[in-house]
Structure 1
Amino acid sequence: MNRRTMMRGGAALVMAAALAVSGCAGNGTVNGDTAAGSGDAKPAEAAGDATAALVAGAAKLQEQSFKTTIDMGTSGNISGVMDPKTKTGEFLMEAEAEGTKMKTEMRIVEGTNYVRITMPGVDIPGMDGKTWRKLGGAGGTGTLGGFDASDTVKSLEAATDVKWAGDKAVTGTIDLTKAGQQLGMGTSDLGKLTTKTIPFEAGFDGEGRLVTYALTIPAIGTDTPVKMNMTYSDFGTPVDIKAPAASELAKEG
């Protein structure tokens, strides 16, 4: 799942951000959870340290299941649910390329990824909207087989210049040479970067959990910049996802 397959759509996967997971920091609520910028106190763990708040907020996303949405504007959107402890989740990715609407469904069951793509007029197993393909994950981070919605926020480990931008929001910069793959960028695209450091915004709820994360992937070649607005909500939501039945899997070979 490189940047083109993940964010621009395309034949193989047309759309699958490594579930970087994002959201624009600002006022508002997300499914009942208070989002960045509202309230009158910084996360308790932070005690005035913006970097500490960011690290703690991202770490909390590894502790509970959650719902997430990644809005990429005209490039499409991703929504789903993830349990980071059991490595189980389910996501729907929708995009439109050259007037053709495409849908990608993904299930992650105990760390194994299954994908089913619906492309009008395509009758290839795994892309016919009927059968699923089991992905081996050989490509590692930044590929569909290695997709894990809870990994996206790990890109924040490469954050620098973190500063408060309100009571529950921070801004900073991220080095894409260190975090690009976690945001769905392929090795080839990373090598073509002319802008390697980009700004981001992030916000927390009243318990210090990361609930919004926003950044813009710069243009590469003829591609246009892609703004990713990620949100996390409904912490502790039940996640009961089953792997596709053997009869639903496309035959290999």
Structure 2
Amino acid sequence: MSFQRLAAASVTIAAIVGLGACSSGSQNSGSTGAAPVATTTAAATPVEEFVAASKKLGTETMKMKMVMPGGIEATGSADLANKKLDMTMKMSMGTESLDIAVRLVGETMYMKMGPTGDKWMSLDVSKLPKGNSLNPENLANAEAFAAAAVDVKLDGDNFSGTLDMTKSPTADPESLKALGAKATAVPFTAKRDSEGRLTELVIDMSGMGAGSGKITTTYYDFGTKVDVAAPAASEITPMPEDMLKAFTSQGQTAGA
């Protein structure tokens, strides 16, 4: 299988899942350039409302579902404030499919592919490049992602606008160069519930070339119980070098 494809899917999931991973007590990191979250409802702009809805995801446990181009689906639950994530990913492999289990416990990611009896592979995400989406510094920074939102409009509880991917802390300069002007205007829509939490995010990558399309993420069942534990030591094996290389290559050339 293509480890590069698996790595790309995993870091994309991490970026979207981590959208609200900031703790509610951190209003503005001061380093991302994002608009500060409004402390009152008066004069809040659509961008500020979007940031606020994103950050609320970090205050509660939840379940989520993601559908990506190329026959990739993921479902799971998360306690972002405590860096706990338990997801199952199904990846289309031609006429067959591959089931992949992913757990995040603190700063260690565990991944298992195929039959139940297979071993878990481990990866210390704290050692990944600074620009990698799985790096805890990015996984726990909602404002950094929201900083890429431009031309945001709000109609009731429905957001629409574009993302300037050049403003993302995990953007790869070489990829951005290849995409050209398209990278500065990626359409997105989002929804929030009556509690002000983001419940849906759709990023339309259709204009990015062959094989691209919409990435749809839904967040639901807020307050659900999330129990995620590291596998027993006897069930863990180091990640193969070629797979490790695919994961660590993302973000190596991203700006600080």
Q: Which runs of 5+ in 1 are unaligned?
A: 1-8, 23-43, 120-127
CA deviation vs aligned residue, 1:81-122 (integer Å, no higher than 9, x gap): 111111011011111133331122111112211111228xxx
Moved more, 241-250 or 154-163: 154-163
Counterpart of 2:176?
190
In 2, Cα distance between equivalents of 1:154 and 1:83: 19
In 2, Cα distance between equivalents of 1:118 and 1:186: 30
CA deviation vs aligned residue, 1:50-80 (integer Å, no higher than 9, x gap): 2221111011111111111111254311111
Residue 189 (structure 2) pairs with residue 201 (structure 1):
yes
Q: 2:14 aligns with which of 11, 14, 19?
A: 19
Query: Runs (4+) of structure 1 moved beyond 6 Å?
Result: 147-150
Map 1:74-85; keep pairs closer than 5 Å.
74-85=70-81
By relative contact order (CA 8 Å, sep 6+), the higher-ranking structure is: 1
Moved more, 238-247 or 172-181: 172-181
What is the SS of the residue equivalent to 1:93? strand
In 1, Cα distance between equivalents of 2:222 and 2:177: 37
TM-score of the aligned structures, taking structure 1 as reference length: 0.71
CA deviation vs aligned residue, 1:10-65 (integer Å, no higher than 9, x gap): 2366242333448xxxxxxxxxxxxxxxxxxxxx9476632221111011111111
Counterpart of 2:65?
69
In 2, Cα distance between equivalents of 1:97 and 1:252: 21
Residue 2 (structure 2) pairs with residue 10 (structure 1):
yes
Residue 208 (structure 2) pairs with residue 214 (structure 1):
no
Q: 2:153 aligns with which of 141, 147, 163?
A: 163
What is the percentage of aligned positions where both structures have the same residue?
27
Moved more, 204-213 or 48-57: 48-57
In 1, Cα distance between equivalents of 2:175 and 2:149: 20
Map 1:163-182; keep pairs closer than 5 Å.
163-164=153-154, 166-179=155-168, 181=170
RMSD: 3.1
Counterpart residue identity of residue 3, structure 2: A
Larger helix fraction of residues? 2
Residue 119 (structure 2) pairs with residue 131 (structure 1):
yes
